[in-house]
């Protein structure tokens, strides 16, 4: 493994105690305090504005992260292999499809395939733009920023992946849905594994994109819609 490649994935980060304390405060604010504040106090109509600002803030921090390079966007392609990639894509697509079908059949059968049937134009836009405006920035923040910038203050190994998935789920608390919480936690585990274990941001982006498009195609957007948010208090 080259030195550049290792640095890109945050393997050679060193911080003094003062920097570590500041990083911990920054980490806690970004990944814990802000999602909780948005979920508890922000009006549902302003959630997507807050999400956009969160993305911008995260990308600004990423650009200020020592050693970060946009070359990471292209790392990992050669190690994926064509058939393993196809298998991973097919696997997550099938898993999301089955889960979506079961959930909607039991809880909201009228929403099953509603997007495909009634708004195919919107579904096409989602398929085209979701990877760029949702999956890509989320992976940059929740995978690259998380594992790269905050490596000194997060656990190592599998514990980091589990923590990443938990905080990814917490970021979706604003929907106040146990279905969203569970699905984003499982998704977070898969995307974090793709990025950290397989050392491939492209794989994480692809899997995230496929999962998101399949969710909306089956009608699961009903759970990811701010207009349907009902707080339990």
pLDDT digits (tens, 9 = 90+) for 21-38: 999 999 999 999 999 999
Region of 219 on the Ramachandran plot (φ > 0 left; ψ -120 to 50 alpha; else beta): left
With bands split at pLDDT 50, 70 and 90, how would you rate the model's confidence at 15?
low
Average pLDDT for 52-65: 91
For residue 83, what pLDDT is reported? 85
pLDDT at 212 over 90: yes
With bands split at pLDDT 50, 70 and 90, how would you rate the model's confidence at 231?
confident
- From the list 111, 112, 138, 123, the residue with the least C-alpha distance to 207 is 138
For residue 164, what pLDDT is reported? 98
Element (H, E) at 73: none
Mean of per-residue pLDDT scores for the chain: 90
Average pLDDT for 94-107: 98
> Do residues 130 and 209 lie in contact, with contact meaning Cβ atoms separated by under 8 Å?
yes
- CA 167 to chain centroid, in Å, comes to 10
Counting residues of the chain whose pLDDT is more than 70, the rounded percentage is 94
| Residue whose token pair is 């292999």 | 81
pLDDT at 11 over 50: no
Average pLDDT for 115-123: 96
Instruction: Count other Cβ atoms within 10 Å, centred on residue 232.
Output: 4
3-class state of residue 186 by DSSP? helix
- From the list 104, 102, 134, the residue with the least C-alpha distance to 116 is 104
Low-confidence winner among 41-45, 124-128, 132-136 (lowest mean pLDDT): 41-45
With bands split at pLDDT 50, 70 and 90, how would you rate the model's confidence at 107?
very high
Long-range Cβ contacts of 122-130 (<8 Å, 24+ apart): 123/216, 123/217, 126/212, 126/213, 126/216, 127/213, 127/217, 130/209, 130/212, 130/213, 130/216
More confident residue, 94 or 225: 94
Element (H, E) at 112: none
For residue 10, what pLDDT is reported? 46
3-class state of residue 119 by DSSP? coil
pLDDT at 6 over 50: no
pTM check: above 0.85: yes
For residue 85, what pLDDT is reported? 92
CA distance 3 to 224: 41
pLDDT at 59 over 60: yes
- CA 230 to chain centroid, in Å, comes to 23
């Amino acid at each position: 493994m080259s030195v550049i490649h290792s640095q890109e994935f945050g393997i050679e980060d060193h911080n003094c105690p003062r920097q570590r304390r500041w990083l911990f405060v920054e980490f806690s604010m970004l990944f814990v305090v802000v999602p909780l504040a948005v979920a508890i106090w922000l009006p549902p109509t302003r959630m997507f504005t807050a999400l956009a600002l969160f993305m911008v803030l995260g990308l600004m921090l990423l650009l200020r992260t020592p050693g970060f390079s946009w070359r990471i966007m292209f790392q990992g392609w050669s190690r994926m292999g064509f058939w393993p990639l196809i298998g991973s894509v097919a696997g997550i697509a099938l898993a999301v499809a089955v889960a979506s079908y079961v959930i909607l059949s039991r809880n909201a059968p009228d929403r099953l395939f509603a997007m495909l049937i009634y708004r195919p134009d919107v579904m096409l836009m989602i398929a085209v733009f979701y990877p760029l405006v949702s999956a890509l920035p989320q992976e940059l923040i929740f995978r690259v920023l998380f594992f790269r910038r905050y490596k000194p203050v997060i656990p190592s190994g599998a514990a980091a992946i589990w923590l990443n998935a938990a905080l990814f789920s917490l970021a979706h608390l604003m929907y106040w849905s146990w279905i969203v919480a569970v699905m984003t936690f499982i998704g977070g585990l898969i995307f974090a594994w793709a990025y950290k274990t397989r050392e491939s941001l492209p794989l994480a982006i692809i899997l995230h994109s496929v999962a998101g498009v399949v969710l909306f195609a089956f009608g699961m957007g009903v759970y990811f819609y701010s207009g349907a948010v009902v707080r339990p208090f």
